Structure 1
Amino acid sequence: MANAERLAKPVAGKPAAITKVLARGGSISFLLNSTGMGLALIMQIVLARLLGAAGYGTYAFVTTVVTFLVFPAKLGFDTSIVRLVAAMKAKDEWSLIKGLLKRANQLGFAVSLSVTATGFVILGLRYSEMTDTQLATYAVGFATIPLLTLATLRQSALQALKDVLFAQMPEKIVRPLLTMGLLLMTVFLLNWEADAGLAMLCFAAAVAVSYLIGAVVLKKRIKEQTAAVDTQYATRYWIRLSLSLMINGGMYLILGQLSVLLMGVMHSETESGLFSAAVRLAALVSFAITAINMTAAPLLSESYAKGNHGQLQQVCTTSGRAGFSFAAVVFIAFVIAGRPLLGLFGTEFTAAYPALLLLSAGQLFGAYCGQTGTMATMTGYHRVLTRVLVIATALNVMLSVLLIPLLGMTGAAAASCCAAVTWNAIMAVAIKRKYGITTPVWTFGGGSQRKQQEQDSPPQ
């Protein structure tokens, strides 16, 4: 109740200015994500064509495993950096920003090395069970974990500083271009045999280059502000907050990637690869809201810190409606042309069309519910989000175990869709009750929502 009362207090701000910031930052992010998604899709098609269904399945499965292993190495600092650095920057606390980034990188690098070492130990124990290609793919994939961890932390820092361009360009643009370029060069110019191991090696080289680019940019962005200040630390608080946020990140990761892993374990890596293509395509439905969140997340954190209810509602409404509009267009496109799009990966991939529609429906509903997860994370409501995500994850696991043996990819997609609908619906209601903020992009009470926003916002 105290939070609601504090948020209801009008605070000076300009709605038009907020819209302009969202439009500018969101446009840049949207363009980068559009280009990045296009490049990622092209890269997956190239990989599928060159490696074949089996080779692509191995590559996709190992990539998913690496994604899961990078997650604990970040310790949740990727999320806490966005939230904390945005608030620290508003208060000109550069000594704390300097300490936070330094400590996050130290801890992230140490943990990522431990995770990598554990991965190699397990690889050694299973050496006799793997083909040479599988062994090489896993080994190179594990070796990328430290750089992927540090790259994610750097991306979060630039996002918090509202440098949307360089927060995303190394990973969205440089990495897929280099991966494809190196793979095509080695196959067609050097006449090397295309397999999952070679593809992962090209990916690792691209990760190294993109990391260096991002690290240099971040250093230049904060050098002037941090060079002359002492380093301050609040390590215990940072770790406590980050670990709490990491739980939510883990739930997101499981909800997004669990079905791919279960398909590989319960069926085959080949079918996991087919399903992975549907998962990657379905991600296009929500990528607009993801792109906008590069700007919206820091704004939500700042608005909450200032107690500006009207600005919070405006950020949620403006960003949510833009994201949902795009999501609806993409969903319709998949309904009409989903099979031909999957066919670009190879004729075998068209079998994933029903799964694509179910996955896309779940993404569309999430886009309609708007800034549920981001709003909770940026306003300190993450513990409730954690409980809701745990419920959704348990539902996903239960349904996956029941439906995958019966329906294969379609069962996995149905489980993911049900989980997405569940957690987004619950959080939309919870945020409304907690803060009085409406996150669904259109409701029957839209007129009263606009009226409340006008009352909370100062006159122009």
Structure 2
Amino acid sequence: MANAERLAKPIAGKSAAITKVLARGGSISFLLNSTGMGLALIMQIVLARLLGAAAYGTYAFVTTVITFLVFPAKLGFDTSIVRLVAAMKAKDEWALIKGLLKRANQLGFAVSLSVTVIGFAILGLRYNEMTGSQLVTYSVGFATIPLLTLATLRQSALQALKDVLFAQMPEKIVRPLLTIGLLLIAVLLLGREADSGLAMICFAVAVAVSYMIGAFVLKKRIGDQIAGVETQYATRYWLKLSLSLMVNGGMYLILGQLSVLLLGMMNSETESGLFSAAVRLATLVSFAITAINMTAAPLLSESYARRDHNQLQQVCTTSGRAGFSFAAVVFIGFAVAGRPLLGLFGAEFTAAYPALLLLSAGQLFGAYCGQTGTMATMTGYHRVLTRVLVIATVLNVALSVALIPLLGMTGAAAASCCAAVTWNAVMAIAIKRKYGIITPVWSFGSRAKKGVPPQSGDSTE
């Protein structure tokens, strides 16, 4: 009995430490994400009022195009860096960390530069069709693609090092504040005419400043560890893994926006616009788990690298329960006050209330299933995740085609909800069978298997 008590004390202490790390990191991330969302909204309001509808439309469209162009330019390294750097750090493999960050930046810069050149080439073909303001907006916007790509990779590196504050602060806080401040100075103090080109120039300056802040912090965090270390590379493996993870990122993007697109194609753009408001609100259900994952993801990778089954389960359980608790509160809030909230967008948006509830239910079930996607990504089970996401996407399309003509946006929401329930449930079962880890936040009648998780996730799927 005494031996059992002595063994239990370190385990209890370790669990408390994990909970403390998740609570601290999750709280910081939640605060930063909340503040960032507020600042992003304020920035959009300021831009819309200063620029007017037409100029703001140009600015918003170009920033959307840039976002989609940055996605392939990252080559998936933004996700693989979180997984690999956390695992390498646990093993003190600083030579490989140095090589990974260097190679990721080299490849990311090369691809993003190519994307930028192609963008300018297309811009040249349409030169005579654009106004001067549009040309400036597109030109400056395309020029930011390499910096945005490198900034995302730097953000991932700091996340892997568990520096949640500086992983997010430059982009979520500094960038919108600086964009708003520079635009107000240019218009109110310098008397410049507000147009989309001026707004994009302010945004580009903010991107450059926020990138330099993040790069400086990253150098301070790891400069001493990698300064005298000979660089090691595993480029082929890193690239293969990153591209595979990029596919999953693309599938998440498609699953999130597919119903909006199909609704617009099959019914009307107006109904698609109403539905998109419900989609935006429904994502708030999973807001907390997304914020917590900034801390949980590197912890899962680190625990897996150390073959620490107990810590894996602890991270999944603690982070999952915190995320689900928040999700449940938001879901209840939408059930009670969903119509008034949708009414803030306009009176006609209240018609999307049934869709909001269905979309939120899918998000709530995903929060209940816990760290399914993150666990698979951080432990080398990503190929199985890819196959499951593809199945969910096909299901979403099939149900959307069948239900949208009958039920409109409610049918689209039902299709999205079914797809979310499917892939989360399947992955929860798959992870339990492979690793013995229970990701659902409360599981009745089963216990996690104790043991050492296999280290061959990439080859034994």
Normalised by the length of structure 1, the TM-score is: 0.84
Q: 1:89 to 1:141 in 2, by over 3 A?
A: same
Pairing of 1:176-191 with structure 2 (within 5 A): 176-189=176-189
Partner of 2:174: 174
Partner of 2:229: 229
Query: Matches of 2:121 and 2:334 in 1, distance apart?
Result: 42
Query: Matches of 2:336 and 2:195 in 1, distance apart?
Result: 33
Query: Matches of 2:47 and 2:355 in 1, distance apart?
Result: 21
SS in 2 for 1:376: helix
Partner of 2:31: 31
Query: Matches of 1:196 and 1:362 in 2, distance apart?
Result: 37
- Which is bigger in relative contact order (C-alpha 8 A, separation at least 6)? 1
- Find out whether 1:295 has 2:295 as its counterpart: yes
- Find out whether 1:438 has 2:438 as its counterpart: yes
Q: 1:425 to 1:158 in 2, by over 3 A?
A: same
Query: Matches of 1:74 and 1:176 in 2, distance apart?
Result: 22
Partner of 1:285: 285
Q: 1:283 to 1:120 in 2, by over 3 A?
A: farther
Partner of 2:91: 91
Cα shift at 1:374: 0.4
One-letter amino acid matched to 1:370? G
- Aligned-residue sequence identity (percent) comes to 87
Partner of 2:143: 143
Query: Matches of 2:408 and 2:364 in 1, distance apart?
Result: 22
1:36-55: CA deviation from partner (whole Å, max 9, x where unpaired) = 22323333444555566776
Question: Between Structure 1 and Structure 2, how many residues are aligned?
Answer: 442
Query: Matches of 2:49 and 2:409 in 1, distance apart?
Result: 21
Pairing of 1:32-431 with structure 2 (within 5 A): 32-47=32-47, 59-126=59-126, 137-189=137-189, 197-259=197-259, 276-344=276-344, 353-399=353-399, 412-431=412-431
One-letter amino acid matched to 2:387? R
SS in 2 for 1:230: coil
Query: Matches of 1:238 and 1:266 in 2, distance apart?
Result: 41
Q: 428-437 vs 357-366, which deviates more? A: 357-366
Which of these two proteins has the greater Rg computed from alpha carbons?
A: 2
Cα shift at 1:233: 1.2
Q: 84-93 vs 98-107, which deviates more? A: 84-93
Q: 1:54 to 1:343 in 2, by over 3 A?
A: farther
Query: Matches of 2:435 and 2:90 in 1, distance apart?
Result: 23
Partner of 2:456: none
Contact 1:68 1:253 in 2 (8 A): no
Query: Matches of 1:359 and 1:52 in 2, distance apart?
Result: 32
Contact 1:81 1:157 in 2 (8 A): yes
Cα shift at 1:121: 3.1
1:317-364: CA deviation from partner (whole Å, max 9, x where unpaired) = 110010011112122223333444455556676665555444333222
Contact 1:61 1:272 in 2 (8 A): no
Q: 1:251 to 1:271 in 2, by over 3 A?
A: same
Contact 1:62 1:138 in 2 (8 A): yes
Q: 193-202 vs 144-153, which deviates more? A: 193-202
Q: 1:177 to 1:416 in 2, by over 3 A?
A: farther
Contact 1:373 1:385 in 2 (8 A): yes
Cα shift at 1:86: 0.9
Partner of 1:5: none
Contact 1:300 1:315 in 2 (8 A): yes
Q: 295-304 vs 131-140, which deviates more? A: 131-140
Query: Matches of 1:336 and 1:53 in 2, distance apart?
Result: 33
Contact 1:400 1:412 in 2 (8 A): yes
Contact 1:49 1:346 in 2 (8 A): no
CA RMSD, aligned part only?
Answer: 3.3
Q: 327-336 vs 310-319, which deviates more? A: 327-336
Query: Matches of 1:408 and 1:57 in 2, distance apart?
Result: 27
Query: Matches of 2:339 and 2:195 in 1, distance apart?
Result: 26
Contact 2:151 2:211 in 1 (8 A): yes
Contact 2:90 2:305 in 1 (8 A): no
Contact 2:263 2:269 in 1 (8 A): yes
Q: 1:195 to 1:404 in 2, by over 3 A?
A: farther
Query: Matches of 2:134 and 2:351 in 1, distance apart?
Result: 25
SS in 1 for 2:82: helix
1:347-386: CA deviation from partner (whole Å, max 9, x where unpaired) = 6766655554443332222111110000001111111001
Contact 2:90 2:306 in 1 (8 A): no
One-letter amino acid matched to 1:377? T
Query: Matches of 2:262 and 2:153 in 1, distance apart?
Result: 28
1:140-191: CA deviation from partner (whole Å, max 9, x where unpaired) = 4333221111111001100111111101111121122223333444455556
Q: 51-60 vs 199-208, which deviates more? A: 51-60
Q: 398-407 vs 386-395, which deviates more? A: 398-407
Partner of 1:18: 18
Contact 1:57 1:270 in 2 (8 A): no
Partner of 2:4: none
Query: Matches of 1:410 and 1:140 in 2, distance apart?
Result: 40
Partner of 1:6: none
Question: Unaligned 5+ residue runs, structure 1?
Answer: 1-9
Cα shift at 1:444: 2.2
Q: 1:51 to 1:355 in 2, by over 3 A?
A: farther
Query: Matches of 2:269 and 2:342 in 1, distance apart?
Result: 18
Q: 1:395 to 1:314 in 2, by over 3 A?
A: same
One-letter amino acid matched to 1:238? W
Q: 1:22 to 1:156 in 2, by over 3 A?
A: same
Q: 1:432 to 1:371 in 2, by over 3 A?
A: same
Q: 1:411 to 1:210 in 2, by over 3 A?
A: farther
Q: 1:210 to 1:189 in 2, by over 3 A?
A: same
